[in-house]
Amino acid sequence: MAFAITQTCCTDASCVAACPVNCIHPTPDEPDFGTTDMLYVDPRTCIDCGACADACPVDAVHPVDALTGALADYAAINAEHFADRPTSRAEGTGPVFHAWDPPRFDRAVPADFPALDVAVVGTGPAGMYAVQDLLLHTDARVTLIDRLPVPGGLVRFGVAPDHPATKRIGETFARHHAHHRLRLRLGVQVGRDVTVDELAVAHDAVIYAVGASEARELGVPGADLPGSLAATTVVGWYNGHPEIAADAVDVSGSRVVVVGTGNVALDVARILTADPADLEDTPIDRGALERLRGGAVREVVVLGRRGPEAAAYTRPELHALLHRHGVELVVDDADPRTGREIDGAGEHAALLRGVRRETVDWSAPPGDGPKRLVLRFHSTPVAVSGPDRVRGVRVTGPDGEVEIPAGLLVRAVGHRGTPLPGLPFDAATGTVPNAGGRVDGIPGSYVVGWIKRGSSGGIGANRACAAETVGALLDDAVAGRLPSRPRRRGPLGFRRGRRAHGSPA
């Protein structure tokens, strides 16, 4: 028996640090770290100690013989990763203890260095990995701020409710909220309740972890008709985001079109086609669940402008769609290229090989059979049909221009950051210009997460990102590059917001 990593892998490499025999790859110092969809356990090296399972913050690691249902394939998926790689342990010898050194916590801060006051803006994964690094490895006092009344960022309001193991990482982060050197201020929006300058004056350094909250535009006529929603709205709706109304999403039509093939598109398609009874025991917003119960969605069409080879979803998320009860996965085969790509080589498209292909007749409404999730590739939306509200989407494809009738259009084409008054902003990338986390031209200000790198990468990608930013901050502190600040007269006040329960003054 060995252990295997499964669907919810967040790639934050907590397991790598815990493994005593270096059997989990890629490790953070291997070239493909950050490029694979997940990490893998080498079954030839695994000694079944379970240290990785204990360390995993998202419950993704399990003994192979405990894997059932859709997860059973992960024994082979882990093993396949190592098929043409040498074992990391020579046959017949004992385990090689850590080829990859455990993380080094000897931050270059002299023992007598005065404790820093650091503000971290944003309680999503990037902010929380930065907070964790500061609290566990330095003496810093941290003021943690979020504009929302509930912490967690996209772990709370983005991650789909049917991914409870992933949401569990929020509990790991939340343990730090009660740390004696942290004060948590919720409902405080930087730019409204406190300015960038005020934060800078009151702290030695400020780390901005404000994410990328704005939806990218689709940029076709009709994209702003009623019934055309950004995925951020739909995701916020089913996750109970305090700023999204309970009736924001109309699920009374039988067909929904989702534009984009990223994991967010698959999340939305999965939730809208799920049997509401299967969502009952999840943290889904109760109002959204009631509406889904009374809804009429029979079919969700996911549109990719390129082929299956170039789809943006990760393999585990597509894999999860292959094994659903009561929801059929179909590939629209109108484009001969789609078939060739699926039949040809390419790990990404290969998963679709066994999936039913059909040349869908879009003039007919979805049938009464099982619900369907249809993947249609090589299809670029050119217009949203109205006139008063969304009635369909016109797409160009190999079969010319096709009208796909639909009552709801979801634009899942990615995200971008928004400018924060007082910080520089690159409108082209939707990020704050920075060098390794140091904000350009503003000493003492740092960025981390999606506002630093752009809106890509799962939760775990923010861990290494935070280590880089915190490392830059500490280097600057030790080198005397942080701006000196005037002596403070007392703790910084905020115009709104509240101190979180249990947080020190």
Ligand X SMILES: Cc1cc2nc3c(=O)[nH]c(=O)nc-3n(C[C@H](O)[C@H](O)[C@H](O)COP(=O)(O)OP(=O)(O)OC[C@H]3O[C@@H](n4cnc5c(N)ncnc54)[C@H](O)[C@@H]3O)c2cc1C
Ligand Y SMILES: NC(=O)c1ccc[n+]([C@@H]2O[C@H](COP(=O)([O-])OP(=O)(O)OC[C@H]3O[C@@H](n4cnc5c(N)ncnc54)[C@H](OP(=O)(O)O)[C@@H]3O)[C@@H](O)[C@H]2O)c1
- Judged by the rule CB under 6 A, the positions of this chain that interact with ligand Y are 218, 259-265, 267, 304-306, 310, 312, 314, 317, 412-415, 455-458
Give the one entry of ligand Y, ligand X, none that residue 449 binds, where binding means its C-beta sits below a cut-off of 5 to 8 angstroms depending on kind: ligand X
Q: Name which of 19 and 312 has its Cβ closer to ligand Y.
A: 312
Q: Name which of 414 and 497 has its Cβ closer to ligand Y.
A: 414
Q: Name which of 166 and 228 has its Cβ closer to ligand X.
A: 166
* Nearest residue to the partner ligand Y, using Cβ: 262
Give the one entry of ligand X, ligand Y, none that residue 206 binds, where binding means its C-beta sits below a cut-off of 5 to 8 angstroms depending on kind: none
Name the 3-class secondary structure at 302: strand
Q: Name which of 168 and 305 has its Cβ closer to ligand Y.
A: 305
120's CB contacts (< 8 A; 6+ apart) are 127, 130, 131, 134, 142, 143, 144, 145, 206, 207, 209
Q: Name which of 218 and 477 has its Cβ closer to ligand Y.
A: 218
Q: Name which of 64 and 159 has its Cβ closer to ligand Y.
A: 159
Calculate the alpha carbon distances from 216 to 31, 73, 231, 242, 290 in Å: 30, 35, 10, 21, 29
Min separation Cβ 353 and ligand X, Å: 25
Min separation Cβ 355 and ligand X, Å: 22
Give the one entry of ligand Y, ligand X, none that residue 450 binds, where binding means its C-beta sits below a cut-off of 5 to 8 angstroms depending on kind: ligand X
Name the 3-class secondary structure at 212: coil
CB-CB contact of 158 with 211 (8 Å): no
CB-CB contact of 78 with 39 (8 Å): no
Min separation Cβ 126 and ligand Y, Å: 12
Angle at 29 between CA 27 and CA 31, to 5 degrees: 90
Min separation Cβ 203 and ligand Y, Å: 30
Q: Can you give the binding site for ligand X, defined by CB under 6 A? A: 10, 121-127, 145-148, 153-154, 158-159, 163, 166, 189-191, 209-211, 213, 235, 264, 267, 420, 449-450, 457-459, 462
Give the one entry of ligand X, ligand Y, none that residue 431 binds, where binding means its C-beta sits below a cut-off of 5 to 8 angstroms depending on kind: none
Secondary structure of 331-380 in the HEC alphabet?
EECCCHHHHHHHHCCCHHHHCCCCCEEECCCCCCCCCCCCEEEEEECCCE
Nearest to 305 by CA among 383, 376, 362, 359: 376
Give the one entry of ligand X, ligand Y, none that residue 305 binds, where binding means its C-beta sits below a cut-off of 5 to 8 angstroms depending on kind: ligand Y
Min separation Cβ 164 and ligand Y, Å: 13
Give the one entry of ligand X, ligand Y, none that residue 145 binds, where binding means its C-beta sits below a cut-off of 5 to 8 angstroms depending on kind: ligand X
Give first-to-last CA distance, the chain, whole Å. Answer: 51
Residue 206 belongs to what H/E stretch?
Answer: strand 205-208
Residue 316 belongs to what H/E stretch?
Answer: helix 315-321
Q: Fill in the DSSP letter of residue 493.
A: P
Q: Name which of 88 and 455 has its Cβ closer to ligand Y.
A: 455
Q: Name which of 313 and 362 has its Cβ closer to ligand X.
A: 313
Min separation Cβ 366 and ligand Y, Å: 22
Min separation Cβ 97 and ligand Y, Å: 31
Q: Name which of 126 and 312 has its Cβ closer to ligand X.
A: 126
Give the one entry of ligand Y, ligand X, none that residue 414 binds, where binding means its C-beta sits below a cut-off of 5 to 8 angstroms depending on kind: ligand Y
Give the one entry of ligand Y, ligand X, none that residue 337 binds, where binding means its C-beta sits below a cut-off of 5 to 8 angstroms depending on kind: none
Give yes or no for a cis peptide into 26 (omega within 30° of 0): yes
Provide the residue type at 270 as one letter: R
Give the one entry of ligand Y, ligand X, none that residue 301 binds, where binding means its C-beta sits below a cut-off of 5 to 8 angstroms depending on kind: none
**HSE value, Cβ hemisphere, 13 Å, CA-based, for 290:** 6
Q: Name which of 204 and 317 has its Cβ closer to ligand Y.
A: 317
Min separation Cβ 44 and ligand Y, Å: 27
CA dihedral 469→456→317→402, nearest 10 degrees, is 170
Q: Name which of 11 and 22 has its Cβ closer to ligand Y.
A: 11
Give the one entry of ligand Y, ligand X, none that residue 308 binds, where binding means its C-beta sits below a cut-off of 5 to 8 angstroms depending on kind: none
Long-range contact pairs involving 274-282 (C-beta distance under 8 Å, separation at least 24): 274/162, 274/327, 275/325, 275/326, 278/162, 279/161, 279/162, 282/161, 282/162, 282/164
Min separation Cβ 141 and ligand Y, Å: 32
Give the one entry of ligand X, ligand Y, none that residue 462 binds, where binding means its C-beta sits below a cut-off of 5 to 8 angstroms depending on kind: ligand X
How many CB atoms sit inside 10 A of residue 64's CB?
A: 20
Q: Which two tokens stand for residue 246?
A: 């309970």
Min separation Cβ 160 and ligand X, Å: 6
Min separation Cβ 26 and ligand Y, Å: 17
